[in-house]
A and B are shown apart, each in its own frame.
Chain A
Amino acid sequence: MLYSYKWLQELSQTKKSPKEVADLLIAHSFEVEDITEQGEGLDDVVIGHVIAKEKHPDADKLNVVSVDVGEERLQIVCGAPNISEGQRVPVALVGAVLPGNFEIKQAKIRGVESVGMICAEDELGLGTDHDGIMILGEDAPVGEKIIDYLGLDDTVLDIDVLPNRAHDALSHRGMAREIAMLEERVLTFDETMPADDAGIAVEVETPACSRYSATSITGVEVGPSPLWLVQRLKSLGHGSYNNVVDITNYIMLETGQPLHAFSADFVPKVIVRKATDREQMTLIDKTEVSLSKEDIVITDGEKPIALAGVMGGKGSAITDATVDIVLEAASFSARAIRATKSRHGLMTDAAYRFERDLDPNLTEQAAARAKEMIQELAGGKVVGVTDTYPQEQKISPWSIALEHASVERLLGIEIDTSHVRKILEGLNINVKQKNDVYLCHIPTYRRDLGNAEDLIEEIGRIYGYQNIHARPLVENVQVPQYNAQRFFERSTKDNFAKAGFDEVRSYSFYSDEDTRKAGVEQLEHVILAGGGDDASLRNMRRTLAVGLLHSAGRNQAYDEQTAIFETGRLYQPQKESGLPQEMLMLGIAVTSKKKDADQFYRLKGALETYLTSHGVRDVLFAPIAEMEEVGDDAPHLFHPSRRAKITLQDGMVIGMIGEVSKKAAKAFGIKNARTAYAQIDLDRVRKEARQDMTYESLQKYPSVMRDISIKVDAQTLVADVERSIYAAGSDLLVDVDLFDLYTNTKTAERSVAFHLIFQSNTSTLTTDQIDPLMAKIIQRITSDGWDVKGE
């Protein structure tokens, strides 16, 4: 909220400068977002009188005017459409530096000398209006500084009052009370407004209205507000309508209590009730609203004349013709007002305060202040006051027992009981001390103070957090639980970074279009982030491919070859209700302009090295058949004959790998390059990771290597050939290692060559032992329908 420094000063009697007040508040109470000196840059702006106006000889839209600024007459070229003779206008003299560091210089405009500038509101930093120059009142004294004339010698403080202090501090009185308290003075405001028998009839039919007071005032002269009032409201972000409405806004800013003035002609009586479903009303700003039975309305006995706590109705508004008014000062349920405000999208100042739960006792001082001001500025006379404040709604000071020890315990300080008492009493809290317990009676405007901790907070901030000194914890340290998932993820990242992959991070959601590009189907299961209309925030991710491929496409411009990875969560919706399952995944991608399948094998190799080094052995890579469902939609992303599922021995799928189809790559902006992508489930891998290695004695006898080269048909799997070799090779065959793979592009025949490693742990193997094994292997290969070269 914006606060006028002058106003706070009048109320609090502080002698501090605006900056000092701000520092005091920052240290003990509130964040001060901004300090704005009102007249900043306006020292050389004076009131001018337009004496004459002529068309510019060379420009249709410009005028050359002669302006009397008191001591001299200036010739100024002016482009504003609304300028005319006789007006009083703000004139920036040559040498003035306006807000925004805009310096006024003498200049020739299209050949005509111009000395100074006639200003629009926004140029003076006084508003946003730039439709034309600012026109001042006819009585504005020529030559006087605009600062003096408009009362711009104030400083506005933008102070951030959070919901806990909204009950008491969203007003100048409240803020002044805070400042005085910090300067060790207690301010109280206690005007009363006794009810009488002459007021209008008020019936409150809903407990959501805790208090309703109506003051009848007659003989009001509705008209413009005095300049000081207009200016003060304006500097605090409020427009000016007429003196009565302006006074209600002013009192709200002063006391925190929203008021509403009705034209009495339309308010024979007041009934406060819940609205009926689809009950219609027109608000003061002409919006039509269709009400719900949760809304509270002020009615004239039949139809709504105000949407309670939010906005008045159009029909009963104050107009220039109004003579008699009914002034409402009421209190409503915070929850109800908040719901109404949200339901109808009406963010008004009144609703902002009511939804923060005001003290119903506040209505009296506001009504009393309004009465004074209306009498003074609009000449009205109070003829009756009605005040409905049922006993069961009454709020009286409540008590909190506070133990001295708990203050010291929570803040970590030693403090005298007298010091605590002084702080509490400074808050206008009535304290009775019994041994080491303070019995505190809380003033009703401090609705946030509900328990001992709330009071300790007050003591802490007023004592000054800067006076609390760091102390080490003396608690026992428990052995922290090891977060296995977190450290496995860490090790996974290290692995891929060392292998030459760069880590990227992408958002947890993507658009429908990305969903299609990545070939992720089953849209009906996707969880939607509601509210936003940004398409890229729509679907919670079910694959890391979208982020990584976008990144690969983007990085192509700088990189011959991109190798990237990401670890992050995927969100798997549940069929029934409940939170989605969040799965920690690893995605890796390699893009390169090198032709053919190198990328696939590079990625596969990196993955194999990773899995082996993390104790996951016996992983299978199996081709994914045309229509096969493997529990994830990623296969649609891949080249149909270059994709595999990654499974454990028991068939559990832990991930996918493949070359991204040309269509998908293109959709993600990857051009002229092959991209391989793999994704694995880190939780499944972690559960499989075996760290329980046991030592095997070192081999004493040398191994023997034999090579074998085999001709196979197109699409014969290396894995199948290996399996045959192992099956025939006995225990002495310890390793089969592919060292050459060649495909004859004409015949589609492939030749595969392996090193076969034989070893015994009991003796050095001889030719006589190995030859029969080789013969068995060759026989097996042949019987499986493949040709062993050289046989």
Chain B
Amino acid sequence: MKDQLVEIVKGALEEISAAKTLEDIEGVRVRHTGKKSPLSVLIKSMKERTPEEKKELGPALNDARTEIHGRLEERLQEIEEAFDGAAEWVDVTAPGKKGPSGHLHPLTIVQRDIEDIFTSMGFEIADGPEVETEYYNFDAVNVPDNHPARDMQDTFWIETKSDEDRHVLRTHTSNVQVRAMQEKSDQGIKPPFRIIVPGRVFRQEATDASHEHTFHQFEALVVGEDVSVANFLHIAESFFSQFFGQDMKVRVRPSYFPFVEPGFEFDISCTICGGDGCSSCQQTGWIEVGGAGMVHQNVLEAGGYEKGVYTGFAWGFGLERLAMMKYRIDDIRHFHGGDVRFTRQF
């Protein structure tokens, strides 16, 4: 009896060790632990044995069954965890499978950077119409009809059927200055406030690598009780330093824009040479960026604030110009050219 049991166990363990696949293991399991397996037959036959025999054989049978089950389980794990290095080799240098990925337009990226920086400085983002009345584009910002200042911007006028209010494609985002202030003053909101206006503007001029009839401007307006030129310098330096990720200096030079007094052009230290002078900045160390100034009292008055009470500064510059500086783009026409090879670089 005992010898028979030893044979059964030995045979089973040999087959288990020889099993290579999950199917092999399953076959072994059926043959050696199934209802008709020699072990099961032997266990069944126990009923007919004497109590002495049962006492003697019982534990041995149990041990045999435990050993076979244990080995089966062990072998099963071995097989499941086994792998063939050569067959399953993967070329880790082959390119990965890419998911869909589209690209944002560089102007979108630059505009977001600007919006985020200014928002973090407590500015709100305002919008206004692109087709604008003559009043908000010109008169409200102190550019009266029949004034030579109107010649400073080549304007697209809208064809009208009658002598109704004349409309223009806004020549600057400054049209939103008075709109935004009126909205506030109508609700009884007093300065201080800080506003930015990014948006599309139009000038009727011939296009070439550095001129476009359609471009984007970015306007900032700060009004309060004691806002000064020195404050403008601070906000401008803070912004440009953040935007370019390096310490930037801002320089202002006298200029004239009817909506500000004093008015100036402002330059930033050259982003290429840091101000030492190089070919990008024509050896001056400075790059011309935009126009700025202290908001004209006539403009504040048009916005609903009594003259002489508040002061403020306004500034504006071209988004395209900033994007061109940041990404070294050499032709402004790419921005509205609709070529995806351009967009995909960003």
**A interface, CB within 8 angstroms of B:** 26-31, 162-166, 334-335, 338-339, 355-356, 409-413, 451, 453-454, 456-457, 460-461, 465-466, 468-478, 480-483, 485-486, 490, 493-494, 496-508, 527-532, 537, 540, 547-548, 550-551, 554-555, 558-559, 562-565, 568-569, 571, 577-580, 582
Contacts and interface: CB of A to CB of B under 8 A. Distances in A.
Nearest to A448: B256
Given A409-B311, A453-B294, A551-B340, A502 B103 contact: yes
Nearest to A555: B340
Given A470-B233, A475-B225, A502 B162 contact: no
Given A485-B127, A503-B105, A532-B204, A468 B229 contact: yes
A666 B129 CA distance: 34
A497 B104 contact: yes
Interface string B249-269: 011111110100111110000
Contact of A563 (B102, B123, B192): B102
25 contacts: A166-B148, A335-B146, A454-B261, A470-B230, A473-B227, A475-B224, A476-B192, A477-B194, A480-B123, A480-B125, A486-B125, A493-B108, A500-B101, A502-B343, A503-B108, A504-B340, A505-B107, A506-B336, A506-B338, A508-B214, A529-B158, A530-B158, A551-B339, A555-B340, A577-B165
B340 A530 contact: no
Interface in B172-227: 191-194, 200, 202, 204, 213-214, 222, 224-227
Given A473-B224, A528-B159, A502 B148 contact: no
Contacts of A506: 336, 338
B234 interface: yes
A505 B204 contact: no
Given A412-B230, A568-B200, 13 more contacts: A29-B254, A31-B265, A411-B229, A456-B262, A470-B231, A475-B192, A482-B124, A502-B103, A503-B104, A527-B131, A529-B169, A554-B338, A562-B340
Contacts of A578: 165
Contacts of A466: 251
A355 B147 CA distance: 8
Given A31-B255, A473-B234, A555-B339, A579 B262 contact: no
Nearest to B99: A500
Given A503-B105, A530-B156, A470 B234 contact: yes
B100 interface: yes
Given A162-B255, A579-B167, A473 B222 contact: yes
Contact of B254 (A334, A465, A482): A465
Contacts, number: 240
Contacts of A485: 127
B230 A504 contact: no
A410 B310 CA distance: 10
B253 A577 contact: no
A483 B103 contact: no
A579 B340 contact: no
Contact of B146 (A339, A471, A477, A493): A339
A468 B108 contact: no
Contacts of A537: 156, 213
B140 to A, nearest CB: 14
A338 to B, nearest CB: 5
Contact of A410 (B169, B228, B255): B228
B102 to A, nearest CB: 4
Contact of A163 (B159, B227, B256): B256
A465 B253 contact: yes
Given A502-B102, A529-B169, A558 B341 contact: yes
Contacts of B156: 529-532, 537
B157 interface: yes
Interface string B124-154: 1111011111000000000000111100100
A531 B335 CA distance: 24
With most chain B CB atoms within 10 A of its CB, the pick from A30, A356, A497, A548 is A497
B122 interface: yes
B92 to A, nearest CB: 26
B159 A530 contact: yes
A480 B124 contact: yes
A493 B107 CA distance: 12
Nearest to B261: A453
A32 to B, nearest CB: 10
Given A30-B254, A478-B122, A579-B133, A502 B340 contact: yes
A500 B227 contact: no
Given A26-B253, A531-B157, A508 B263 contact: no
Contacts of B344: 502
A411 B228 contact: yes
Nearest to B151: A163
Interface in B253-299: 253-256, 258, 261-265, 294, 296-297
Nearest to A342: B146
A410 B115 contact: no
A466 B269 CA distance: 13
A490 to B, nearest CB: 7
B229 A410 contact: yes
A555 B164 CA distance: 43
Contacts of A28: 254
B112 to A, nearest CB: 7
Q: Specify the main secondary structure of chain A where it touches its partner.
A: mixed
Given A477-B122, A527-B158, A537-B156, A497 B103 contact: yes
A427 to B, nearest CB: 14
Contact of A498 (B102, B194, B235): B102
A506 B213 CA distance: 12
A466 B252 CA distance: 7
A490 B194 contact: no
Given A471-B228, A490-B112, A461 B254 contact: yes
Contacts of A165: 256
Contacts of B237: 470
B105 A582 contact: no
4 tightest Cβ-Cβ pairs between the two chains A and B: A412-B230, A500-B100, A412-B228, A551-B338
Contacts of B235: 473
B77 interface: no
A478 B192 contact: yes
B66 interface: no
A439 to B, nearest CB: 17
A500 B148 contact: no
A504 B105 contact: yes
Nearest to A28: B254
A476 B146 CA distance: 40
Most buried by A among B123, B132, B233, B253: B253
A344 B324 CA distance: 40
B131 A540 contact: yes
B119 interface: yes
Contacts of B339: 504, 551, 554-555
B269 to A, nearest CB: 13
Contacts of B296: 453
Contacts of A471: 228, 230-231, 233-234
Nearest to A29: B254
Contacts of A465: 229, 251-254, 264
Contacts of B214: 507-508
A581 to B, nearest CB: 9
A473 B130 CA distance: 31
* B130, B156, B157, B229, most chain A CB atoms within 10 A: B229
A475 B254 contact: no
A685 B200 CA distance: 23
Nearest to B216: A505
A28 B251 CA distance: 12
B340 A564 contact: yes
Interface string B287-318: 00000001011000000000000010000000
Contacts of A564: 338, 340
A508 B103 contact: no
A451 B307 CA distance: 12
Nearest to B226: A409
B320 to A, nearest CB: 11
